[in-house]
Amino acid sequence: MPARVEPCLAALVDKPPEGEDWAYEVKWDGYRLAVHVEPGRVRILTRGGYDWTDRFPSIVDDARRLAVKTAILDGEAVVLDDLGRSDFGMLQRALGRLPSAVEAGAIVFYAFDLLYLDGRDLRRLPLRERRRLLEPLVAGREGAVRLSEEVQADGEEFYRVACAHGLEGIIAKHREKTYRSGRGEWWRKITCKRRDSFVVVGYEPSTVPRAIGRLLLAGRQGEAFVYVGGCGTGWSHKESVKLRELLDEIKTNEPAVVLRRKGAVFVRPLLVAEVEYRAWTDDRKLRHASFKGIRPVEDGGEVYELSIKS
Classify 151 as helix, strand or coil: strand
CA 252/CA 202 separation, integer angstroms: 9
CA 274/CA 72 separation, integer angstroms: 27
Active site residue 27: yes
CA 190/CA 192 separation, integer angstroms: 7
Point out the catalytic residue in the list 27, 173, 242, 292: 27
Task: Report whether 110 contacts 148 (CB < 8 A).
Answer: yes
HEC-encoded secondary structure of 256-306: CCCCCCCCCEEECCCEEEEEEECEECCCCCEECCEEEEEEEHHHCCCCCEC
CA 130/CA 295 separation, integer angstroms: 31
**Catalytically active residues, by annotation:** 27
